[in-house]
Amino acid sequence: MPVDPQVQAVLDHMAASGAQPFYTQPVGYAREAVQALPTLGGEPAPVASAEDRTIPGPQGAIPVRIYTPEGTGPFPVLVFFHGGGWVAGSIDTHDRVCRSLTRSADCVTVAVDYRLAPEYKFPVALEECYAATQWVADHAAAINGDAAHIAIGGDSSGGNFAAAVALMARDRGGPKLVYQLLLYPVTDYYEPGTASYRDYAEGYFITRNDMIWCWNHYLSSAEDSESAYASPLQAEDLSGLPPAMVITAEFDPMRDEGEMYAARLKAAGVPVTHTRYQGMIHAFVNFAGMVDMAKRALADASAGLRAAFGN
C-alpha cells in the first residue's frame, strides 16, 4: 500500500518547513530539528504529576522526568528511553509519548535524559540507561512504583537501548524486567544492510544516510558495532529475555532489522507480539496529533504494558 495520506501530510509539512537531511548538517541542526517533534504530537495527555529530578549515574547526575498517573498506587513502572539517533532528542521531545503511555497503561513512567553522542560515545549513554533502570528497581517505593513490575521501552535508538538494557539485565543478574516495548527499534549496524534499508533509503523522513551519520557519531569504530549491546541482533543468545512488543513501520529503513529481531526473540522462546503498521514511517508514534495510526499504536503499546503488568 502507499504511504498513509496522513503521513504524507506530515512529510509535506516537513518539506514545506525547509527541513534539511540530518547527514548534511551539523549536530546542532539535528538537535534543533528534533525539538520540533512535539508540535506534531497533539495535545499532551493529562497525568497526576510530571516531576523533573536527577538520579546518580556512572558519569554523574542523570536527568529524568517521572510521570505519575491518577490514583493511589503503587503503580507498575515503565523506564523509557527516547529516540533521536543517539545524537538528538530529549525528555521534552518525547513528553507526549510518555504522558500517553502513563495515562493509558496506568503506570509510572521514568523518562531518561541520557548523554548524547558524539560528545559521549558508546557505551556511555547505554550505561546510563542501565543505571537508571537499576535505580528504579532499587527506589521504586520512593516514586510510588512496584519493583516487581518494571518494564523498559523506547523508540528508534531508544528502542536500541531498551533491547540492550534487557540483555544487560539478563547478563548482569538484574534488575528483573517484565516487558520490553520496542518501537521501530534500531537493532543492527547499517552494514551490510537489509532490503528495507535499500527500498526506503530516501524520501521517508529518516534516510539511510541519516542513519550512517548517526552510527558514525555514536560509535568510536566499526568494531564497536559487533557488540551485542550496540547491535542486539548480533547477540548469539536471546533466550531468557522479558516478553516483548515490537512495533515496526512499513516505510522505514529499519523495518527489517526490527522484524528480524522479533523473529529471533520468538525463536529463542521469548513471548513476542509484533505488528507492522502499514503506510507508516519511522518515528510515526511521535505524530499522534496528525496521524490516527499513531494513536492506535500508542493504544496497542499501552494494552501490551497493561497485560504485562497484570492490570
Cell 551490510, residue located: 192
Which residue in the list 155, 252, 256, 302 is annotated as catalytic?
Answer: 252
* 149 in active site: no
Question: What is the DSSP secondary-structure string of the chain?
Answer: -PPPHHHHHHHHHHHHTT---GGGS-HHHHHHHHTTGGGGS-SPPP-SEEEEEEE--TTS-EEEEEEE-SSS--EEEEEEE--STTTS--TTTTHHHHHHHHHHHT-EEEEE-PPPTTTS-TTHHHHHHHHHHHHHHHHGGGGTEEEEEEEEEEETHHHHHHHHHHHHHHHTT----SEEEEES---S-SSS--HHHHHTSSSSSS-HHHHHHHHHHH-SSGGGGGSTTT-GGG-S--TTPPPEEEEEEEE-TTHHHHHHHHHHHHHTT--EEEEEEEEEETTGGGGTTT-HHHHHHHHHHHHHHHHHHT-
Q: How many CB atoms lie within 10 A of CB 49?
A: 12
d(CA 196, CA 279): 14
Long-range contacts for 233-238 (Cβ within 8 Å, ≥24 apart)? 233/187, 233/188, 233/257, 233/260, 233/261, 233/264, 234/188, 234/189, 235/167, 237/268, 238/167, 238/264, 238/265, 238/267, 238/268, 238/270
Respond yes or no: is residue 156 known to be catalytic: yes
Among candidate residues 82, 94, 217, 282, the one labeled active-site is 282
Q: Given the residues 156, 157, 196, 302, select the one marked as catalytic.
A: 156
Active site residue 239: no
For the annotated catalytic residues, the residue numbers are 156, 252, 282
